[in-house]
Amino acid sequence: MSEARPSFIHRFVPGQGSAGNTTLLLLHGTGGDENDLLDLGGSLLPGATLLSPRGKVLENGMPRFFRRLAEGVFDVDDLQRRTHELADFIEQACSSYALDKTRVVAIGYSNGANIAASILFLRPAALAAAVLFRPMVPFVPTQMLDLAGKRIFIAGGLRDSVADPRGTRRLQDLLVGARAAVDLHWHDGGHELNQDDLAAAREWLSSAASPMPPA
């Protein structure tokens, strides 16, 4: 029986040195693709292995990881189905590329950050940690799974008109309530990323890329 192959169009960049033991799962925003965050990932944790899938949903020709019904209104059924699909892809890629599945760290921006948060809600074993740039609450689960041992960095914009800061704080509350270790970084700007966000994430990753022992 042949081994299942990773099910997303993606880019894979092998790591180098000790940092190569950590895999950064790069999840682009709306309109991005598998090439979008490669330079970003390489700058955040030099030498890390990079795994960058392309979202399968098209919105006016622009790739996304799940459907939305309107700005800020998600198709939750589609989101949950595609969350499981992406978590399965992570497992397949770890097997195909002989990656340490306990050292996968999501790096998500906007739509990519939202599906990364959804993975934490539904399939937390797929990720050791996550960096969420400009996330929203993807949905409110009826029961949060225990996230003890998960390290999460959230970067929000105080003037973000897309990912409202109140939603960012609500996401932090949900994750902390599930016992995750959450660091929240604020920038006095909007939805776009800037060097302040990247510097804070780079510093956080340098110490938090490795899995944290269970509480």
Give all domains of the chain, ordered by start, each with its CATH number: 10-208 (3.40.50.1820)
Burial of 213 (0-12, 13-18, 19+ CB in 10 A): exposed
Burial of 69 (0-12, 13-18, 19+ CB in 10 A): exposed
What does the mean pLDDT of the chain come to? 93
191 noted as active-site residue: yes
Stronger pLDDT, 208 or 181, i.e. the higher one: 181
> Residue 5 pLDDT > 80, yes or no?
no
Catalytic residue, chosen from 10, 84, 185, 191, is: 191
pTM value?
A: 0.93
95 noted as active-site residue: no
88 noted as active-site residue: no
Catalytic residue, chosen from 110, 118, 187, 197, is: 110
Classify residue 212 by its DSSP letter. P
Q: Which of 212, 165, 208 is nearest to 189 (CA)?
A: 165
pLDDT of residue 148: 95
